[in-house]
Amino acid sequence: MNTGFSYTTTYFLDKPHFSETYDESVKLERGLKAYGTAVGLALAGVAVLLFTPFTAFLAWFLIGLGVVEGLSVRFKKPWWLARQMLSRAANHEVTLTLDEQGIHIKSTYVNSSVDWENISHIEPTSRGWLFYQGKARSYLSNGCLSDEALAFIRSKAAAKSA
């Protein structure tokens, strides 16, 4: 175990960073299952339109909700990226510190710390690391890490899986 390890670096929360974070950390449903809610809302709207005495407003509202839900599934990544780029933290420099206590991220708008003891599982991805804390996940890119920092995270991952 590396005693007294500390690593500090900086990076920008820019569009490529957010895109990589999305690609590596979001698990997408594929096929018809992803559109299940959208199809269900649209079918409910059609059923209300055809088989009930309710006004057409309710039916068209449900059909419209189905369409909006379908678009949100289809354009999930662009919508997520747009929201991140509109946040106050976007395009600002972030300071990352890895040490024996945990992972610390600090900037003008972001101040986050995760202790190693609160991380239940560490999973490598093709371009970084996923850190699990209960149902929450955090992503850290390899692009901002040195070889020593990568070795330190690998040692922490091995200790968590043992």
CATH number of the domain bearing residue 146: 2.30.29
pLDDT tens digits for 120-150? 999 999 999 999 998 889 999 999 999 999 9
In a domain, 102, yes or no: yes
Q: Kindly report, residue by residue over 22-49, the tens digit of the pLDDT.
A: 999 988 887 788 899 999 999 999 999 9
Give the E-state strand segments of the chain in sequence order: 6-12, 93-99, 102-106, 111-115, 121-124, 128-133, 136-141
Q: What's the pTM?
A: 0.79
* Residue pLDDT, tens place only, 78-122: 999 999 999 999 999 999 999 999 999 999 988 999 999 999 999
Structural domain includes residue 104: yes
* Any domain includes 145: yes
Nearest Cα neighbor of 1 from 114, 118, 151, 121 is: 151
- Whether 132 is in a domain gets the answer yes
Structural domain containing residue 138: 6-14+93-161
Rounded Cα distance between 153 and 149, Å, is 6
Number of domains in the chain: 1
Query: Does some domain include residue 131?
Result: yes
> Do the domain assignments include residue 154?
yes
